């Protein structure tokens, strides 16, 4: 089932951008071991979408944030270490679930990808999340603002865990 994607129309309409990211997450195939996540890179100065992504959108075991970056790299034909050179100065990231700091697959965690963008003083300065991790993140420790956008938590969790086997079903 393809999700209907409505673009936000107002600058800093965090709820609308999070709803857009949630609709992207719905495009991700449900699997028992992956969270279905959606992500949107936005130029906050012009209220324009720079890139979008969702879990498993690109080849490999890709996360939503990683898919945003891959699509942007492919569009510009540049390697990942040059990504920050094409990002607008006021790029923010909306993601339904706080970016991962550890990957069991051996892929670079999304937090590390985001931090790498800021090595030249550019990069992403704010990450808006629909679901937060309980502890303070590496992003905040590195000076990146993490903002919880409230109101869609239940829907995000339902979409994120679609395809997972609950412990009740495992016991049956």
Tell me the DSSP string of 80-133: GGGGGGGS-TTEEEEEEEPPPS--TTSSPPHHHHHHHHGGGS-S--EEEEEE--
> Out of 2, 57, 59, 65, which one is annotated catalytic?
65
In a domain, residue 56? The reply is yes
The structural domain count of the chain equals 1
Distance, in Å, from the CA atom of 68 to the CA atom of 79, rounded to the nearest integer, reads 14
In a domain, residue 15? The reply is no
In a domain, residue 74? The reply is yes
* Range(s) of the domain holding residue 64: 36-144+156-161
Which H or E element spans position 19? helix 14-25
In this prediction the pTM is 0.90
In a domain, residue 49? The reply is yes
User: Does residue 57 carry a catalytic annotation?
Assistant: no
Check which CATH number belongs to the domain holding 114 and give it. Answer: 3.40.140.10
Identify whether the C-beta of residue 62 lies closer than 8 Å to the C-beta of residue 70: yes
pLDDT by residue for the chain (172 residues), tens digit each? 344 455 666 667 899 999 999 999 999 999 998 899 999 999 999 989 999 999 999 998 999 999 999 999 999 999 999 999 999 989 999 999 999 988 877 789 999 999 999 877 788 999 999 999 777 778 999 999 999 999 999 999 999 999 888 655 443 3
């Amino acid at each position: 089932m393809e999700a209907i994607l409505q673009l936000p129309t107002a600058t800093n309409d965090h709820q609308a951008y999070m709803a857009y990211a949630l609709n992207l997450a719905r495009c991700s195939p449900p699997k028992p071991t992956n969270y279905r996540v959606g992500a949107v890179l936005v130029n906050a100065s012009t209220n324009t979408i720079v890139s979008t992504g969702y879990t498993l959108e690109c080849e490999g075991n890709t996360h939503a944030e990683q898919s945003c970056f891959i699509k942007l790299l492919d569009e510009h034909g540049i390697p990942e270490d040059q990504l920050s050179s094409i990002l607008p100065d006021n790029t923010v990231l909306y993601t339904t679930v706080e970016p991962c700091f550890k990957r069991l697959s051996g892929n670079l965690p999304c937090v590390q990808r985001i931090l790498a963008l800021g090595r030249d003083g550019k990069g992403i300065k704010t990450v808006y999340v629909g679901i937060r991790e309980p502890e303070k993140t590496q992003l905040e420790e590195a000076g990146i603002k993490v903002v919880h956008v409230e109101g869609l938590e239940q829907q995000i969790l339902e979409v994120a865990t679609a395809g997972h086997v609950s412990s009740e079903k495992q016991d049956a």
